[in-house]
């Protein structure tokens, strides 16, 4: 059983490593030194480090039989840096949304091994919403209006909605400020910075419409309960997987199988539940099945409507 005391032992062993970021002198080969390294893109290391460190230490505990002695966290400044680390075998394990999972698989050979559930939900769908009483009743009426996306690197909050709108025949133009006016036959878009800001932009009239996932729609942190009644959902789109777990292409089969087993059949103690929850509110993992492949194939088609510079900035 993976106990809290075990975590502190692992943490003490790897405390000197901290999180690895851009310092190649300290980034030793995980396999040769038996350090299991989990990676992510982050502009806020203090926020993301804890959950990743807990999970990688949980992994080390279950991989002792494979000779792993410690866990490390590699936080990259962007996707290019993380992909390079995967290719150079400085990162073993990552979690991504399906759009970027496809990009990483194509560029680095990384393999999807599991689907991750978040707060009991395996998939998300996008809502386009407007203020209640808005004159906008259809997507076509968004021409000459402004829509709020989240962030440039958000697949669910920007890239997939952008691709879907283009597929539907709409021409979108980036606005550097919510006070800018889009051309009459185009949909202008701004970046809010996150789900809460998106709801605030629409509520305050800085944007005529916003895009959120159904997951964020149900969170009071994204839309306070007292203002949700002021919004109307204009359209709901197809579902996609929330996240998948991936490993580097040359990970030994025994290690890969052990990671699958420890996540799909986790220890049943409260500490393991805590580790999962801290790992971006994970509730469960399951084997990647035909549905995951179907979603990836749908995303491949949608990516034809995105420019390479929009995907990897």
Chain segment 147-163, per-residue pLDDT in tens: 999 999 999 999 999 99
Domains in the chain: boundaries: 4-121+241-311, 126-237
Q: How far apart are CA 112 and CA 95, in angstroms?
A: 9
Which of 19-23, 63-67, 89-93 is the least confident region?
A: 19-23
**Measured CA distances, 173 to 163, 183, 209 (Å):** 13, 8, 15
The H-or-E segment that residue 37 falls in is strand 35-41
Q: How confident is the model at residue 20 (pLDDT cuts 50, 70, 90)?
A: low
CATH class of the domain at 126-237: alpha beta
**Residues 6 or more apart in contact with residue 6 via CB below 8 angstroms:** 57, 61
Q: What is the pLDDT of residue 3?
A: 39
Strands 126-131 and 123-124: unpaired
Bridge partner list, 38: 73, 93
Is it the case that residue 25 has pLDDT exceeding 90? no
Q: What is the pLDDT of residue 11?
A: 35
Q: Do domains 4-121+241-311 and 126-237 have the same CATH topology?
A: yes
Closest CA to 128 of 65, 190, 211: 211
Is it true that domain 4-121+241-311 has CATH number 1.10.3720.10? no
Is it the case that residue 168 has pLDDT exceeding 80? yes
Q: What is the pLDDT of residue 33?
A: 60
Q: What is the pLDDT of residue 4?
A: 37
């Amino acid at each position: 059983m993976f106990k809290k005391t075990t975590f502190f032992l692992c943490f003490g062993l790897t405390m000197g490593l901290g999180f690895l970021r851009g310092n190649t002198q300290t980034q030793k080969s995980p396999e040769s030194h038996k350090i299991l390294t989990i990676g992510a893109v982050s502009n806020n290391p203090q926020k993301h480090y804890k959950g990743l460190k807990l999970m990688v230490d949980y992994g080390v505990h279950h991989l002792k039989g494979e000779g792993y002695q410690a866990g490390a966290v590699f936080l990259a400044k962007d996707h290019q840096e993380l992909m390079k680390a995967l290719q150079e075998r400085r990162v073993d394990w990552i979690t991504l949304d399906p759009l970027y999972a496809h990009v990483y698989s194509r560029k680095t050979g990384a393999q999807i091994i599991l689907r991750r559930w978040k707060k009991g939900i395996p998939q998300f769908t996008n809502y386009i919403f407007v203020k209640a009483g808005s004159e906008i009743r259809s997507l076509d009426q968004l021409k000459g209006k402004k829509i709020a996306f989240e962030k440039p690197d958000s697949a669910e909050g920007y890239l997939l909605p952008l691709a879907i709108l283009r597929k539907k025949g709409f021409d979108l133009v980036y606005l550097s400020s919510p006070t800018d006016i889009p051309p009459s036959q185009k949909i202008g878009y701004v970046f809010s910075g996150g789900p809460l800001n998106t709801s605030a932009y629409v509520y305050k009239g800085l944007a005529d419409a916003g895009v959120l996932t159904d997951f964020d729609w149900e969170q009071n942190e994204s839309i306070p309960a007292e203002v949700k009644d002021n919004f109307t959902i204009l359209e709901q789109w197809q579902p996609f997987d929330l996240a998948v777990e991936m490993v580097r292409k040359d990970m030994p089969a025994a290690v890969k199988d052990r990671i699958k087993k420890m996540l799909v059949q986790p220890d049943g103690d409260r500490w393991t539940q805590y580790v999962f929850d801290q790992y971006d509110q994970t509730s469960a993992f399951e084997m990647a099945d035909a549905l995951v492949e179907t979603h990836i194939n749908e995303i491949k088609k949608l990516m034809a409507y995105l420019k390479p510079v929009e995907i990897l900035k």
